[in-house]
Structure 1
């Protein structure tokens, strides 16, 4: 027998509470203070110490409704005094994001509500900016204390009807020499983006996989997630490795930091060839050097 909902105003309140609870369960949880992020570090102790990434790192992904999200949690062998400063500042983020092979340019501009990162995102090969997609990420440092940092980058729109792009970075001090980072990357998509992605995955991207292991084959080898969750996992990892390369280049003299982080990023992605291999080192370096030269020339001409 079908049960009816409680009637009247009480029924409405019950339904609203049920919907709210469902949204809270489905929604990603972010730390709002250092204690929450430290608790997440403790909860992931096993995953951080035993994983296939060759570093203390844990990756999660989810596809809910019209949204894709990837999350990476990682321990960085850098004190928070370094990490917390380095990961603030819009220009620092342009230095990070340009390492991603699909980011063709990153410029900082001012808007009434604050700073905006203007990113051109396109193909992996050399490409005119007019042929790439422009994203405007509002940049905000929502929390910055001597122990905890939270940075948000939000873009309302993207190509093919995609929307609600968000990059969120949280960092907390673990001890005098280590920090714990949480990077989240998400966006919403519609029918056009779903069709375009599925077309790509059926042709050029048919052999592309993510990192999550969904099964084992007859030989006991891992079978990795594919499809749209594979896409979000690959890009989340690329952005995380850009952060790691940037941080690990800071010990270099300023004149050599760019080359150091470019080489560090390429070396890092090549540790995961099944997921991330796209370009040989010489190809990647040549393209990035030209993109950064173009970016610097454009800035100087203003």
Structure 2
């Protein structure tokens, strides 16, 4: 498709839409998630990620969905509380290069995460898209956590945004995590995203291997499923970086999270490389300072 009629605004909206984090809320419990861990034993052991991780995606009618299942080498006593607080999620989400700001406010139904999503360069918040996700802890027990974030409406007729995180204790030192997100889209959103994929995103691929070439090298999935797979991985790696940095002194955790996230995405350059480390760190330090400043101003009102 010729992208000219779409225009810069549509392309910008398409790019931002591909970064949204949303997911269906499956009715899970500790035993169901443990059963999923057992069922994925082979995939968690042998995969292209070189870590105990399994990723899947699907496109059904007018909806996209991505899921990651991963073993975390940390006890649930650490992982569960760390991922339960809404304020911790802003520390996680800001690691993504397209998340410009995140802050928590109180709403009639509980906490709300106000997330600005924009480009992968420095950008004023008024030029980024603002999304409001209601935050709910659906379950929190000594061995199981389920967190849900919902936003009913989005740009270009998109809707039913939802992100779900589930974690269960495997044993005294390991946890099993499930991150899932999805959203529904209409005709305008489909056209805008296809325009992006035909231009700026034409060389982007996901992680699922659809076939191999004559030399045996993998050919990765593209299109809209490639989009959702890339962002599934980006947000999972943000969670992983956040958890890994907990062992550092509080004054150094922020910097460690940033460096861990960038190192992690560089393990998959074909899918996730965007900015060099110095560029990423400079941008994120400024965005985090702005986020902290805005939170301080809001608290003082």
Distance (Å, rounded) in 2 between the aligned partners of 1:245 and 1:268? 8
Task: Please tell me whether residue 270 in structure 1 is matched to residue 266 in structure 2.
Answer: yes
TM-score by length of 1: 0.90
**2: CA distance between counterparts of 1:149 and 1:226?**
33
Alignment counterpart, residue 74 of structure 2, candidates 78, 81, 101? 78
Distance in 2 between the 1:201 and 1:255 partners?
41
1:193 pairs with 2:212: no
- For 1:155, the equivalent position in structure 2 comes to 151
2:111 aligns with: 115
Deviations 1:239-267 (A, max 9, x none): 00000000000000000000000000000
Rounded Cα–Cα distance in structure 1 between residues aligned with 2:200 and 2:180: 26
What is the match of residue 237 of structure 1? Answer: 233
Q: CA deviation at 1:32?
A: 2.1
Conservation of the 8 A alpha-carbon contact between 2:25 and 2:162: no
Deviation at 1:30, TM superposition (A): 3.0
Match among 128, 131, 136 for residue 132 of structure 1: 128
Moved more, 292-301 or 33-42: 292-301
The match for 1:20 is: none
CA distance in structure 1 between the partners assigned to 2:295 and 2:197 by the alignment: 37
Cross-structure match for 1:52: 48
Question: Which of the pair has the greater relative contact order for Cα pairs under 8 Å at 6+ separation?
Answer: 2
Cα contact 1:213–1:222 (8 A) shared by 2? yes
What SS class does the counterpart of residue 246 from structure 2 fall into?
Answer: coil
After superposition, the CA RMSD in angstroms is 1.2
Structure-2 separation of matches of 1:153 and 1:102: 18
Counterpart position of 2:253: 257
Q: What are the superposed Cα offsets for residues 177-219 of structure 1, whole Å, 9 maximum, x if unpaired?
A: 0000000011111111111111111111110000000011121
TM-score by length of 2: 0.90
Structure 1 CA distance, aligned partners of 2:269 and 2:181? Answer: 21
Equivalent residue number for residue 160 of structure 2: 164
Unaligned residue ranges in structure 1 (runs of 5+): 1-26
Q: Which residue of 1 aligns with 2:171?
A: 175
Question: How far apart are the structure 2 equivalents of 1:179 and 1:285?
Answer: 30
Which residue of 220, 224, 228 maps to 1:224? 220
Supply the distance in 1 between the matched residues of 2:168 and 2:271 (Cα, whole angstroms). Answer: 29
Match for residue 15 of structure 2? none
Q: Is the 8 A contact 1:31 1:170 kept in 2?
A: no
In our comparison, the structure showing a higher alpha carbon Rg is 1
Q: What SS class does the counterpart of residue 234 from structure 2 fall into?
A: helix
> 1:293–1:140: structure 2 CA closer, same or farther, 3 Å change rule?
same
Output the CA distance in 2 between the equivalents of 1:234 and 1:170. Answer: 20
Q: Distance in 1 between matches of 2:109 and 2:25?
A: 26
Q: Shift of residue 162 of structure 1?
A: 1.4
Q: In the aligned structure 1, how far is the partner of 2:282 from the partner of 2:235?
A: 20
Determine if contact 2:24/2:162 at 8 Å carries over to the other structure: no
Q: Distance in 2 between matches of 1:32 and 1:193?
A: 31
Query: Which residue matches 1:90?
Result: 86
CA distance in 1, matches of 2:29, 2:191: 39
